Amino acid sequence: MPRALRRLLPARPVAAPSPEPGCPELAEAPADADPGTPDGCEECLASGDTWVHLRMCLRCGHVGCCDTGPRRHADAHFRETGHPVMRSFERGETWRWCYVHEQLG
């Protein structure tokens, strides 16, 4: 086949996404943890604030509000501790999130 034509062929289709491509944090993180503050965001409970959604750190069980709310204590927890993987702390949700690679797993 002529070289010019070969270059026009579409790239190989991308493989179906696997749960943790190249993310050692998600591969190592447990599926669940013991929540430190099962009633809600640790910092918001302490300051009397409210939150929208919660995430739980799978390294230490810290519960923090996620970026749907204004205070984003789950994000702050990652920045302060470097604990990379949190999971949703909402009823019926089991997704996990790696802050390092910003991906679900």
Site residues, Zn ion (CB under 5 A): 23, 25, 41, 43-44, 51, 57, 59-60, 62, 65, 71, 73, 83, 98, 100-101
Q: Least CB distance from residue 95 to Zn ion, whole Å?
A: 14
Q: Give the nearest distance from C-beta 52 to Zn ion in angstroms.
A: 9
CB nearer to Zn ion: pick between 70 and 93: 70
**Whole-angstrom distance, CA of residue 36 vs CA of residue 78:** 15
State residue 81 phi and psi, 5-degree precision. Answer: -110, -25
In sequence order, what DSSP letters do the residues of 61-97 get, joined into one string? --EEE-TTSSS-HHHHHHHHH---EEEE-STT---EE
Determine the Cα–Cα distance for residues 74 and 80; give it in Å rounded to an integer: 10
Indicate the Cα dihedral angle 45, 51, 102, 60, nearest 10°: 20
Least distance in angstroms from the C-beta of 97 to Zn ion: 9
Q: Which is nearer to Zn ion, 13 or 22 (CB)?
A: 22
In whole angstroms, how close is the CB of 34 to Zn ion at the nearest point?
12
Between 59 and 87, name the residue whose CB sits nearer to Zn ion. 59
CB of 9 or CB of 43, closer to Zn ion: 43
